[in-house]
């Protein structure tokens, strides 16, 4: 194989009768552009699109206190410069990342003068909070984590919703069908409901140990009378 002594690259020879019609696209640009749109690091704080990290913060904020007398609002965020470059992070065994700082605003209302329809602002404080280090993508579409170069591997994600299933009679020796239901939220813990061979209903949170379903229902605010009305029929005698 011939080499180019000036550029230190292999010389590619084409034995076809026609020249290349289409230019090979830069495939790495797909992930590079996607991560840049996620960060929006070069955009001004007041001109960021409703996407990526900016949209993630806006979906969480504002955070309202239990009493409703304080609200924590999201203002903006900014990314600092990484301390070391890619090569230095690989040599030192560090993560190639940039500091993420978020500016939040705390609004405190006066409890004495506020009414349910109109609230009086008592104090407003705005401060920049350091959240942590956000990994940066290199030009090779990789991340440097603890000095090791890693790539993103896509994986399937279950769609949110309610799914019903049964064990096809394989769990119990009698062959009885044990039904189950799974609630998958868009964000948060998974909730499973299962029947045992005695037709008792149990619940699992994030596939952990079983809990009686009455504990979950009590946590949701149901009383014993309401649970009896939901699961049992009533016979009225005159």
Q: Are residues 142 and 180 in the same domain?
A: no
pLDDT-derived band at 11 (thresholds 50, 70, 90) equals confident
| Contact criterion met (CB below 8 Å) for 143 and 135 | yes
Q: Are residues 114 and 176 in the same domain?
A: no
> Is 10 among the domain residues?
no
| Contact criterion met (CB below 8 Å) for 100 and 131 | yes
Domain count, the chain: 2
The stretches of the chain forming alpha helices (DSSP H) are 28-39, 52-60, 86-92, 213-219, 224-231
Mean pLDDT value across residues 154-172: 84
Q: Are residues 136 and 177 in the same domain?
A: no
Q: Are residues 35 and 141 in the same domain?
A: yes
Q: Are residues 179 and 201 in the same domain?
A: yes
Q: Say what the pLDDT of residue 168 is.
A: 84
| Contact criterion met (CB below 8 Å) for 136 and 97 | yes
Q: Are residues 117 and 173 in the same domain?
A: no
Residue (of 41, 106, 17, 97) closest to 70 by Cα position: 106
Mean pLDDT value across residues 232-237: 77
Please indicate whether residue 113 or residue 202 has the higher confidence score (pLDDT).
202
Q: Are residues 88 and 191 in the same domain?
A: no
Which of the listed residues 99, 128, 150 is the one where a domain comes to its end?
150
Most confident of 80-84, 153-157, 226-230: 80-84
Q: Say what the pLDDT of residue 2 is.
A: 57
101-143 confidence digits (pLDDT tens): 999 999 998 877 767 677 888 889 999 999 999 999 999 999 9
> Is 2 among the domain residues?
no
Residue range of the domain that includes 211: 161-231
30-75 confidence digits (pLDDT tens): 889 999 999 998 888 888 888 899 999 999 999 998 888 899 999 9
> Is 6 among the domain residues?
no
Residue 114: Cβ within 10 Å count: 15
CATH number, domain at 200?
3.90.1110.10
Spatial separation of the C-alpha atoms in residues 75 and 44, rounded to whole Å: 13
| Contact criterion met (CB below 8 Å) for 137 and 32 | yes
Q: Are residues 93 and 178 in the same domain?
A: no
141-154 confidence digits (pLDDT tens): 999 999 999 988 77
- pTM of the predicted protein model: 0.62
């Amino acid at each position: 194989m011939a080499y180019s002594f000036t550029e230190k690259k292999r010389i590619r020879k084409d034995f076809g009768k026609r020249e290349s019609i289409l230019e090979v696209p830069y495939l790495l640009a797909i992930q590079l552009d996607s991560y840049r749109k996620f960060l929006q690091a070069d955009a001004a704080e007041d001109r960021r699109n409703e996407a990526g990290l900016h949209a993630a913060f806006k979906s969480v904020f504002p955070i309202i206190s239990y009493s409703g007398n304080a609200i924590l609002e999201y203002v903006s965020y900014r990314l600092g410069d990484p301390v070391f470059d890619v090569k230095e992070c690989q040599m030192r065994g560090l993560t190639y990342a940039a500091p993420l700082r978020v500016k939040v605003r705390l609004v405190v209302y006066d409890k004495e003068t506020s009414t349910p329809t109109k609230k009086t602002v008592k104090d407003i404080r705005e401060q920049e909070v350091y959240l942590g280090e956000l990994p940066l993508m290199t030009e090779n579409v990789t991340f440097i984590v603890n000095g090791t170069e890693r790539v993103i591997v896509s994986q399937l994600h279950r769609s949110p919703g309610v799914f019903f299933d049964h064990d096809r009679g394989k769990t119990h020796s009698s062959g009885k069908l044990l039904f189950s239901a799974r609630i998958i939220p868009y964000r948060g813990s998974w909730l499973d409901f299962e029947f045992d061979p005695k037709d008792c209903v149990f619940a699992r949170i994030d596939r952990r140990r079983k809990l009686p379903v009455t504990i979950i229902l009590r946590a949701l605010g149901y009383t014993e009378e309401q649970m009896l009305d939901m699961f049992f029929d009533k016979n009225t005698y005159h």
